[in-house]
Amino acid sequence: MGLSGLMDAPLIAGPLPTTVTVLGAVAGVVLLVGRTRRWWLRSVPVAAVVGAVVVGLVLLVMAVLRPFPDPLPPRVLIWIGVVVAAFALAAYKLRRGWWRAGVAVVAALLVLLTGAIKINAVYGYRPTLNAALGLPFSNQVDLADVAAAPLLDAPPAGPLASAWSPPADMPRRGRISEVTVPGTVSGFAARPAWVYLPPAYLTSPRPRLPVLELIAGQPGGPEDWLLAGRLSEVMDSFAAAHQGLAPVVVVPDATGSDLANTLCLDSRLGNAETYLARDVPDWAAATLQTAPGPMAVGGFSFGGTCALQLALRHPDTFPTFLDVSGQAEPTLGDRASTVAAAFGGDDGAFDRVAPMSELRRRAYPDLHGTLVVGRDDDTYRPQAERVAAAARAAGATIALVELPAGHSWSLASQALGAALPWLAGRLGVLAPAPPPS
């Protein structure tokens, strides 16, 4: 395996994580080995207690500060405890000569690496070594270098694909670009956004492609859809099967920082809703050569909840939405804390913007949505079922799809790939297609 192959090696499953796991297990045995009775009756139990105490402190911080609404899964907590206990055991061995100390430090680092691999696997957060190291994207360009071109519109009575023939020099892959989308109307202080341009967008004449606004989870940022969600790979695969055609994807910042949670609303926490529903579409219309009119919106986890909210509150802008593992309503952990932080304790103000309340008050005969959730996700699957039932009762056309997965970025990638034919049909790129099943 060359350097390029190594950097693209999967971290979720395969030879690389298996090798690291075996080395971590050996390292754990090395740290546990001791020749004295005192070692087994004192040192090892104390290390275990230290690990348990740190896990308890993590749970306390999660309960008090609520940096993000989702609880840490048991597997994550267990690995945190194992890693801390490993370093406690290594600390005991630092006094036993330089070579034993060196072996202990290396062993503890191997356990740490194994823990990181295992925690990463829970979320599917960084699927490859290249993504984990945050190396530059090979398909990145400066948007200013993508020249304007003559435009090809969709025919009046058919999809864009029926009028499109790709030129011989069309690139095989799309391009991505980091861009600044100002909060002109909202005043929201957003981090840089990302744009995916399909191969057909890079031609002249250029088909006037529609826009999909895609929102990441929380904690995190827009780049998570590129690194964890493998956006370019998913979109390029779809484009390759459809003569280079695919939606242009804009991935804006919805939170302002990694740990912030704006609830995707206009509130004391920031005007995220106006930014996503007004500033981002305005920027796309003014900056990109894309199709005018309605867009689609989608997202994963926090982003899925956000997509639902935007579609319900701005159905003329977003009559099509993809909600992957979203919640029934935005939250900072519980309703009381959410209402207090966002609206100063005004329950009525929160109720006026909560999705389930919107669905009880308003009819949505022209809204089309697909909700995707992991079959093994006992937290988000029941919420998706409630949202789907309420949206159908409000007149929306809703598909609820379960995939064999949990709450992870690998689910988000699968969901986007499965939904793209339906999204492209709704956006006029292809002939209408049913939602994924």
Q: pLDDT in tens for each of the 437 residues of the chain?
A: 455 556 667 777 778 888 989 999 999 999 998 878 888 888 889 999 999 999 999 988 887 777 776 778 888 999 999 999 999 999 888 877 778 888 889 999 999 999 998 888 877 777 777 777 766 678 899 999 999 999 999 898 889 999 999 999 999 999 999 999 999 999 999 999 999 999 999 999 999 999 999 999 988 899 999 988 999 999 999 999 999 999 999 999 999 998 899 999 999 999 999 999 999 999 999 999 999 989 999 999 999 999 999 999 999 999 999 999 999 999 988 899 899 999 999 999 999 999 999 999 999 999 999 999 999 888 999 999 999 999 999 999 999 999 998 888 999 999 999 999 999 999 999 999 999 98
Structural domain that includes position 419? 138-426
108 and 152 housed in the same domain = no
Q: How many separate domains does the chain show?
A: 2
- Number of Cβ atoms within 10 Å of the Cβ of 239: 26
Q: CA-CA distance, 282 to 289, in Å (whole number)?
A: 12
255 and 315 housed in the same domain = yes
Q: Are 276 and 209 in contact (CB under 8 A)?
A: no
> Token pair of 235, please?
């979109």
182 and 325 housed in the same domain = yes
SS3 content of the chain, % helix, strand, coil (to 5): 50, 15, 40
Amino acid identity at 55: V
- Kindly state whether residue 437 falls inside one of the protein's structural domains: no
- Kindly state whether residue 434 falls inside one of the protein's structural domains: no
- Kindly state whether residue 28 falls inside one of the protein's structural domains: yes
Query: Which of 275, 160, 300 lies closest to 220, judged by CA?
Result: 300
191 and 319 housed in the same domain = yes
- pLDDT given for residue 25 in this prediction: 93
C-alpha distances out from residue 55 to 146, 259, 319, Å:
50, 20, 44
158 and 113 housed in the same domain = no
- pLDDT given for residue 315 in this prediction: 97
Q: CA-CA distance, 191 to 254, in Å (whole number)?
A: 9
- Among residues 58, 91, 123, the one where a domain terminates is 123
Q: CA-CA distance, 44 to 93, in Å (whole number)?
A: 11
303 and 155 housed in the same domain = yes
- pLDDT given for residue 222 in this prediction: 95
Task: Give the torsion sign (CA, 216, 220, 221, 225).
Answer: negative
267 and 321 housed in the same domain = yes
Query: Which of 49, 39, 51 lies closest to 82, judged by CA?
Result: 51
| 363-374 burial code (b ≥16 CB/10 A, e <16) | ebeebbbbbbbb
227 and 366 housed in the same domain = yes
Q: SS3 string of 363-391?
A: CCCCCEEEEEEECCCCCHHHHHHHHHHHH
Number of H helices, E strands in the chain: 17, 12
216 and 252 housed in the same domain = yes
Q: Please state the φ and ψ torsions of residue 219, each to the nearest 5 degrees.
A: -75, 160
Torsion over CA of 72, 78, 79 and 80, rounded to 10 degrees?
70
113 and 161 housed in the same domain = no
- pLDDT given for residue 136 in this prediction: 67
Residues in the chain, how many? 437
Strand (E) or helix (H) holding 175: strand 175-179
Question: Do the strands 175-179 and 193-197 form a parallel or antiparallel pair, or are they unpaired?
Answer: antiparallel
